[in-house]
Amino acid sequence: MTVCLDSWAVLRWLEGTEPAATRVDDVLAERPCMSWINAGEVYYIVTRLAGEAEAETVVNDLRLSVRLDPAVPVRVIEAASIKARYPMAYADAFAVATALAHDATLLTGDPEIIEAGGPWRVEDLR
Protein backbone atom coordinates (compact mmCIF):
# COMPACT_ATOMS: atom_id res chain seq x y z
CA MET A 1 0.00 0.00 0.00
CA THR A 2 1.35 3.41 -0.96
CA VAL A 3 1.01 6.00 1.79
CA CYS A 4 1.24 9.77 2.01
CA LEU A 5 1.98 11.81 5.11
CA ASP A 6 0.60 15.19 6.01
CA SER A 7 2.07 17.66 8.47
CA TRP A 8 -0.26 16.45 11.26
CA ALA A 9 1.22 12.95 11.03
CA VAL A 10 4.82 14.16 10.98
CA LEU A 11 4.31 16.55 13.89
CA ARG A 12 2.73 13.82 16.04
CA TRP A 13 5.65 11.54 15.10
CA LEU A 14 8.14 14.19 16.19
CA GLU A 15 6.26 14.60 19.49
CA GLY A 16 6.08 10.84 20.04
CA THR A 17 2.28 11.01 20.28
CA GLU A 18 0.69 7.58 19.98
CA PRO A 19 -0.67 5.84 18.04
CA ALA A 20 0.52 8.17 15.26
CA ALA A 21 4.24 8.00 16.12
CA THR A 22 4.47 4.23 15.83
CA ARG A 23 2.46 4.14 12.60
CA VAL A 24 4.64 6.82 10.98
CA ASP A 25 7.76 4.94 12.15
CA ASP A 26 6.37 1.81 10.50
CA VAL A 27 5.86 3.47 7.10
CA LEU A 28 9.08 5.49 6.88
CA ALA A 29 10.96 2.44 5.58
CA GLU A 30 8.58 2.50 2.57
CA ARG A 31 9.55 6.13 1.71
CA PRO A 32 6.02 7.54 1.78
CA CYS A 33 5.21 10.62 -0.25
CA MET A 34 4.52 14.06 1.19
CA SER A 35 3.86 17.45 -0.32
CA TRP A 36 6.62 20.06 -0.06
CA ILE A 37 3.86 22.40 1.11
CA ASN A 38 3.24 20.16 4.11
CA ALA A 39 6.98 19.88 4.75
CA GLY A 40 6.96 23.68 4.84
CA GLU A 41 4.21 23.55 7.46
CA VAL A 42 6.37 21.25 9.57
CA TYR A 43 9.28 23.67 9.12
CA TYR A 44 7.42 26.75 10.33
CA ILE A 45 5.82 24.96 13.28
CA VAL A 46 9.13 23.45 14.42
CA THR A 47 10.78 26.86 13.98
CA ARG A 48 8.20 28.43 16.29
CA LEU A 49 8.59 25.69 18.90
CA ALA A 50 12.29 24.83 18.78
CA GLY A 51 14.08 27.29 16.50
CA GLU A 52 15.19 27.45 12.92
CA ALA A 53 18.22 25.17 13.32
CA GLU A 54 15.99 22.37 14.61
CA ALA A 55 13.49 22.97 11.79
CA GLU A 56 16.27 22.69 9.21
CA THR A 57 17.43 19.42 10.76
CA VAL A 58 13.88 18.02 10.73
CA VAL A 59 13.28 18.92 7.07
CA ASN A 60 16.69 17.61 6.02
CA ASP A 61 15.90 14.32 7.79
CA LEU A 62 12.49 14.22 6.08
CA ARG A 63 14.17 14.59 2.70
CA LEU A 64 15.99 11.32 3.39
CA SER A 65 12.89 9.48 4.60
CA VAL A 66 10.05 10.60 2.32
CA ARG A 67 9.50 11.36 -1.35
CA LEU A 68 8.72 15.07 -1.35
CA ASP A 69 6.21 16.03 -4.01
CA PRO A 70 6.88 19.50 -5.48
CA ALA A 71 4.19 22.16 -5.80
CA VAL A 72 4.16 21.99 -9.58
CA PRO A 73 1.39 23.87 -11.43
CA VAL A 74 -0.82 20.81 -11.88
CA ARG A 75 -0.65 20.01 -8.14
CA VAL A 76 -1.41 23.65 -7.25
CA ILE A 77 -4.57 23.56 -9.38
CA GLU A 78 -5.57 20.16 -7.99
CA ALA A 79 -5.18 21.47 -4.42
CA ALA A 80 -7.09 24.64 -5.27
CA SER A 81 -9.92 22.57 -6.75
CA ILE A 82 -10.08 20.43 -3.60
CA LYS A 83 -10.06 23.56 -1.41
CA ALA A 84 -12.90 25.03 -3.47
CA ARG A 85 -15.08 21.93 -2.94
CA TYR A 86 -14.23 20.88 0.62
CA PRO A 87 -13.96 22.85 3.87
CA MET A 88 -10.27 22.48 4.68
CA ALA A 89 -7.10 24.54 4.88
CA TYR A 90 -5.22 25.08 1.61
CA ALA A 91 -2.17 23.19 2.92
CA ASP A 92 -4.46 20.25 3.79
CA ALA A 93 -5.70 20.32 0.21
CA PHE A 94 -2.09 19.84 -0.93
CA ALA A 95 -1.83 16.74 1.27
CA VAL A 96 -5.01 15.38 -0.30
CA ALA A 97 -3.93 16.29 -3.85
CA THR A 98 -0.58 14.60 -3.29
CA ALA A 99 -2.21 11.44 -1.95
CA LEU A 100 -4.59 11.32 -4.92
CA ALA A 101 -1.78 11.92 -7.42
CA HIS A 102 0.16 8.97 -6.00
CA ASP A 103 -2.90 6.74 -5.47
CA ALA A 104 -1.88 6.70 -1.81
CA THR A 105 -3.67 6.46 1.51
CA LEU A 106 -3.24 9.69 3.45
CA LEU A 107 -2.07 9.16 7.02
CA THR A 108 -3.44 11.95 9.21
CA GLY A 109 -5.45 12.80 12.26
CA ASP A 110 -6.63 16.13 10.90
CA PRO A 111 -10.42 16.29 11.30
CA GLU A 112 -10.80 18.64 8.31
CA ILE A 113 -9.38 15.97 6.02
CA ILE A 114 -10.97 12.96 7.71
CA GLU A 115 -14.47 14.44 7.92
CA ALA A 116 -14.51 16.14 4.50
CA GLY A 117 -16.00 13.06 2.84
CA GLY A 118 -13.98 13.32 -0.34
CA PRO A 119 -12.92 10.57 -2.74
CA TRP A 120 -9.55 9.99 -1.07
CA ARG A 121 -8.40 7.20 1.23
CA VAL A 122 -7.51 8.21 4.79
CA GLU A 123 -6.05 6.33 7.71
CA ASP A 124 -6.99 8.06 10.96
CA LEU A 125 -3.94 8.21 13.22
CA ARG A 126 -5.72 9.58 16.28
SS3 for 82-96, per residue?
A: HHHHCCCCHHHHHHH
Q: What is the pLDDT of residues 53-106, one digit of tens each?
A: 999 999 999 999 999 999 999 999 999 999 999 999 999 999 999 999 999 999
Residue 35 dihedral angles phi and psi, to the nearest 5°: -75, 140
Strand 33-35 and strand 3-5: pairing?
parallel
Measured CA to CA, the distance from residue 122 to residue 69 in angstroms comes to 18
**Structural domains of the chain sorted by starting position, each given as residue range(s) with its CATH number in brackets:** 3-124 (3.40.50.1010)
Q: What is the pLDDT of residues 16-48, one digit of tens each?
A: 999 999 999 999 999 999 999 999 999 999 999
What type of residue sits at position 3? Answer: V
